[in-house]
Homo-oligomer: A and B are copies of this chain.
């Protein structure tokens, strides 16, 4: 089987490296030899072991020997157009491109089915952690109810630095950039957009109907301070950025926000660039997947697992996908009950107290005029009403959407 690679960056280079070094075991597992026939990239790679580079997409599209193409260029343009044309030409496409899957997955999966080929995207969520395939294979017998987790390694690294080493958000971000864990423009990571796209893919696949990532309420970690970390610690908890989706009777909930997790929570101990994804199903209980959520070789190995799967399923469409979304299917997350955290300056007033509320105060002069509360379970609308009512006399310093045991 000959394959094409579109994009020879970190992930594409990793795919090339794995195919070159693991040729024999790949052959044993897929049943035939896999060789790279063409690599599309605008740059030159004179030192690469590969000599089959092209700058013209048509070279891959029109090569009748290429049956599978790894799209690892990222972004939606021109990846969207290229992927469409490849599928229409009867070639399978495997990808790590979460942006494209989150935006155009419905159409691309339909095109793959119509042309009896495959569009697979194991690498789009969780790097090398197998999570996409279990959702349409091993876990397919379960009525899944919830998926939530730490889906972004950059923000988890930053939060870990804040929690364990007392680094400020800015210091931790700088360190992440110096270590290559964060991009120069870290917006997509720290504001939660990356987590949001992955959440949309998980929600669409697990519950069968398209969820648009643009419509998911999304909050990142740039507002989290060392004070919040300290209050959480006093509450025997840590702060993590979570992507979450849950099935309800008449639709699904999805959201991305920082969460305060009790230290006994299985996700609380997942530090640094690691990801952890919890899947809950009726009967199944909780299953968690944990591993390095990014990095060249883990992500490349996920891409390669999809290549091997398409080779094993030549001429056969693998059933996965979701139907079109519909208005009102994504439910208003403010109606989903949960516990809320808020931190206040009390400006000389007595701290709030109320039935079912945990009130947290810290020692030290700098915290003398502050307190934080964790509410009992309520909707966000009810919590907002409290902030406008009995809590309005305090100065709100920060709030966090979710507190979980």
Contact = CB atoms under 8 A, between A and B. Distances in A.
Interface string A14-29: 1000100010011011
A143 to B, nearest CB: 6
Given A29-B136, A319-B29, A141 B298 contact: no
Interface in A271-312: 281-292, 295, 297-298, 300-302, 304-305, 307-309, 312
A304 B142 CA distance: 9
Quick one: which of A31, A143, A287, A288 has the most chain B CB within 10 A? A287
Contacts of A208: 28
Interface string A130-154: 1001101111111100000000000
Contact of A141 (B285, B305, B316): B305
A180 interface: no
Contacts of A14: 283
A122 interface: yes
A242 interface: no
B285 A288 contact: no
Quick one: which of A133, A137, A295 has the most chain B CB within 10 A? A137
Contact of A286 (B139, B283, B292): B292
A223 interface: no
A266 interface: yes
A91 B269 CA distance: 45
B141 A133 contact: no
Given A129-B287, A297-B283, A300-B283, A141 B28 contact: no
A122 B137 CA distance: 11
A236 to B, nearest CB: 14
A4 interface: no
A128 interface: yes
A301 B292 CA distance: 27
A322 B304 CA distance: 21
A291 B297 contact: no
Contact of A130 (B130, B143, B316): B130
Contacts of A133: 133-134, 137-138
A361 to B, nearest CB: 29
A15 to B, nearest CB: 9
Contacts of A142: 22, 128, 301
10 contacts: A18-B141, A22-B143, A29-B141, A128-B284, A128-B287, A130-B134, A137-B309, A284-B297, A285-B291, A289-B289
Given A14-B283, A22-B142, A284-B291, 7 more contacts: A22-B143, A130-B137, A130-B287, A284-B301, A285-B295, A287-B290, A289-B289
Listed from nearest, the 4 A-B pairs whose CB atoms lie closest are A283-B297, A130-B138, A141-B304, A287-B291
Interface of A: 14, 18, 22, 25-26, 28-31, 122, 128-130, 133-134, 136-143, 208, 266, 269, 281-292, 295, 297-298, 300-302, 304-305, 307-309, 312, 316, 318-319
